[in-house]
Amino acid sequence: MHLRPTTAIALLLTLASSISCLPKANLAMAKRASSHPMVFAHYMLIMQPKNGDYTEDINLAKEAGIDAFAVNYGGWNVDWTQHEAQLEKFYRAAEQLDFSLFLSIDTTSVKDKDMIIKLSNTYVSSSAQLKVDGHIVLSSFQTDPPAWDWKTDVLDKINGPVLLLPGTLSDDATALFSNNIPGAGPFTWIHPYATAEQEHSTDVALATQRDRTGKLWMAGIAPWFFTHLSLDKNWAQAQDDKIFVDRWSSLLTLKPNFIEIVTWNDWSESSYIGPPDSSAPGTTDAYWGSADHSAFRSMSKAFIKAFKAGQDSVTVDAADEGVYMFYRRQPARSAGTSDSLPLPSDAAYLKDEIFVVTLLSAPTEVTLVSGDSAPVSWTAPAGLQKTGHPWSFGAQVLQARRGDQVIADKVGAAVVAQMDKYDGNVVAL
């Protein structure tokens, strides 16, 4: 679900004509919402869990402190009757497990406004429907402007007040918080083509405009981005190791009203924090099939807790300690031996390093052994630390001890000089 913002100007012009907002009402809602910051995860409904059972995903999300899934409704070549049945099953599972969902309409494929109205009204009274201040939450992923007017064509026909957070790829903060933009405030997607410094500047501008206008802001954050499927879906991302941990730290200081992790399960774009279904056709040999991202989900716990508490930085208690590493399994500029595709765009930004993240309640001795290189040891401080270390080919071993206590003892997949197909995904453990 990554597209470069070639249509951002048209999108903003269309949205600007859609609805006039009520600044005072928005300000009041923003104040209430800011006192209840929440974290969501973007769930691709088209990527079904094993046996169509949502139980594991819901329980893992709850364990991480995630408040709701933003259910991406739509996708290419969707069987809409089947898709609607899957959504119903998802809502029933969430009701039983005391979890929340809300719709995120994929307007690249959903072209029927009546479908949005029908689905919203179907679940408006569900105990699983996420509500903020009595308003059902509705969001979207959109690139080109939708064919409808959000207010008159959709919101006015839903049976109850709606908190609309429309998605955008734009980085024009002033325009996004214009009084003529529909909804309570924007959901800003990741900009993988931007460097970490550029993304931070955009976030600062968004936070400034949010504070100026009193509207809401939902910020997207991703653990990784990479895809290598075709000539037009062949890209890495320019933020490299700073895309997740560093951005979490930045967002803690900027305090968006909501944060949405993108994604839970978009396997082909390597942006997932959920567990891939290894039994699904094609998964075993895919670049996501053996690339565990569970560490990103575990890391998120401390950030989510800090975000909800209104803290500017992470504090770690003994229950939330963890020592993690993430890395690619091949050099950034090493083409596949039997690969018909060129190197992905933005591969030049990727560093050939092992990245170690420590979340500790007290100083701890950490040792990293990369391949046949000599061990590298250091004392990691209490709190959060992220360090990068050049790799050597071979297995990657990470250990952390505090006196006689073993905090971590992990062996990761080998880094190799070249793979059959280029792999820019990371393992995280």
Show the tokens assigned to 230. 């075709």
Which pLDDT score is estimated for 212?
A: 96
pLDDT digits 0-9 by tens, 281-319: 566 668 888 899 999 999 999 999 999 999 999 999 998
Using a CB cutoff of 8 Å and minimum separation of 24, what contacts does 133-137 make? 133/29, 133/32, 133/33, 133/163, 134/160, 134/161, 135/29, 135/160, 135/161, 135/162, 135/163, 136/102, 136/160, 136/161, 136/162, 136/163, 137/68, 137/102, 137/162, 137/163, 137/165
pLDDT digits 0-9 by tens, 107-164: 999 999 999 999 999 999 999 999 999 999 999 998 777 889 999 999 999 999 999 9
DSSP classification of residue 178: -
Residue 7's Cα: distance from chain center in Å? Answer: 22
Average pLDDT, the chain: 91
Does residue 12 have a pLDDT over 50?
no
Does residue 425 have a pLDDT over 90?
yes
Region 382-400 average pLDDT? 98
Which pLDDT score is estimated for 142?
A: 80
- Label residue 15 by pLDDT band (50, 70, 90): very low
pLDDT digits 0-9 by tens, 207-259: 999 999 999 999 999 999 999 999 999 999 999 999 999 999 999 999 999 99
Show the tokens assigned to 404. 């006689």
Cα separation, 419 vs 393, in Å, equals: 12
Show the tokens assigned to 95. 């009701």
- Label residue 78 by pLDDT band (50, 70, 90): very high
Which pLDDT score is estimated for 250?
A: 98
Residue 240 — φ and ψ, nearest 5°?
50, -130
Put simply, whether the predicted model's pTM sits higher than 0.85 gets the answer yes
Q: Is the dihedral of CA 9, 13, 18, 19 positive or negative?
A: positive
pLDDT above 70 coverage of the chain, percent: 90
Which pLDDT score is estimated for 367?
A: 98
In the chain, how many H helices and how many E strands? Answer: 9, 20
User: For residues 331 and 35, which has the higher predicted lDDT (pLDDT)?
Assistant: 331
| Start-to-end Cα distance in the chain | 25
Residue 144 · residue 10 · CB < 8 Å = yes
Which pLDDT score is estimated for 45?
A: 97
